[in-house]
Each structure stands twice: as C-alpha cells, then as structure tokens.
C-alpha cells in the first residue's frame, strides 16, 4: 500500500481558500468536504485538508500562527520552469501572493515561493534531475 499524505491547513475563509487551491490545479473531493473542511486532491496519495479555524481547534489547542509567520514551507515539484511560473501567477491572481521570497534560479533548479490567502507558504520547484545528479 502506498503511503498517503494529508496536509492540514487552518483557513479563515473556506470558500476563498478552496477557490485558490482549485486555481492551482487541485480538485475538491466532496466525499470528505463539508461546511467546515475541504479535501483538496493533489494526487492519488497527497491531499490538502483546508479546515476552518473552529474545525482546526477540534484537533489541537496549539495556537494558529499569524499569516506573517512561517511554520513550514511545502515544496511541490513542477514539470517545467513554465509550470513554476504558471503556479506563481495563479497564486497571485487568486487571492494569494507570488514571490514571498526572491526567485531562486540555480540553472539545474528553479523555484518560486508563493503564499495562499492565509499565508501558508508553498515552494513551486522545477529540477533538471540529470544535471543535478552531477
């Protein structure tokens, strides 16, 4: 059995966050979504669970960090440099922020950091695996 990953994120506006992740190419699984949560499908084994603050608090009493804080950066590979640019553009056009950090271009690796409407940071990254192996 393949391992599955569920990334749980507290969000202030579930509908806005759902629309943001749909704009990045994720799809909503209605079977595991309701008025307090949206299950966003990234792949057959990776899911992003968007949880209202009230729902989040049923899982933990730890405080929700402010949108200006970075607790974790989630890296997501893209198939090309153009796909990295497209993801950053979609983030900026749909309520998030593109390039919360400087663009990094190392030749064999290219990445841009974007934030969702609640400040959760994602790294869109393309790597030339053949060049990186040298």
What is the structure's pLDDT at 133? 59
Tell me, yes or no, whether 66 lies in a domain. no
What is the structure's pLDDT at 131? 78
Query: Which tokens is 103 given?
Result: 């663009």
Tell me, yes or no, whether 63 lies in a domain. no
What is the structure's pLDDT at 130? 83
What is the structure's pLDDT at 132? 57
The CB density around residue 79, as the number of other CB atoms within 10 Å, is 8
Q: What is the pTM of this model?
A: 0.91
Query: Alpha-carbon distance 123 to 111, whole Å?
Result: 7
DSSP codes, 46-91: EEEEEEEHHHHTTT--SPPPPTT--S-EEEEE-SSHHHHHHHHHHH
Range of the domain at 126: 73-132
Query: Under 8 Å CB-to-CB from 110, ≥6 apart: which residues?
Result: 81, 84, 103, 104, 125, 126, 127
Number of domains in the chain: 2
Per-residue pLDDT of the chain (134 residues; tens, 9 = 90+): 889 999 999 999 999 999 999 999 999 999 999 999 999 999 999 999 999 999 999 999 999 988 888 888 999 999 999 999 999 999 999 999 999 999 999 999 999 999 999 999 999 999 998 875 55
Looking at the fold, whether 52 and 90 belong to one and the same domain comes out as no
Average pLDDT, the chain: 94
- Return the CATH number at 79: 3.10.180.10
What is the structure's pLDDT at 1? 82
**Model confidence over 84-123: pLDDT tens digits?**
999 999 999 999 999 999 999 999 999 999 999 999 999 9
What is the structure's pLDDT at 134? 56
Looking at the fold, whether 50 and 79 belong to one and the same domain comes out as no
């Amino acid at each position: 059995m393949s391992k599955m990953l569920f990334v749980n994120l507290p969000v202030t506006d579930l509908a806005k966050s759902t629309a943001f992740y749909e704009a990045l190419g994720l799809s909503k699984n209605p079977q595991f979504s309701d008025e307090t949560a949206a299950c966003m499908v990234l792949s057959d084994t990776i899911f992003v669970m968007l949880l209202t603050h009230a729902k989040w608090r049923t899982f933990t009493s730890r405080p929700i960090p402010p949108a200006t804080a970075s607790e974790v950066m989630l890296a997501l590979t893209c198939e090309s440099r153009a796909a990295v640019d497209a993801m950053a553009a979609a983030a900026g056009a749909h309520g998030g922020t593109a390039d919360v950090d400087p663009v990094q271009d190392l030749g064999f690796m290219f990445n841009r950091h974007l934030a969702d409407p609640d400040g959760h940071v994602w790294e869109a990254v393309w790597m030339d695996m053949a060049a990186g192996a040298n």
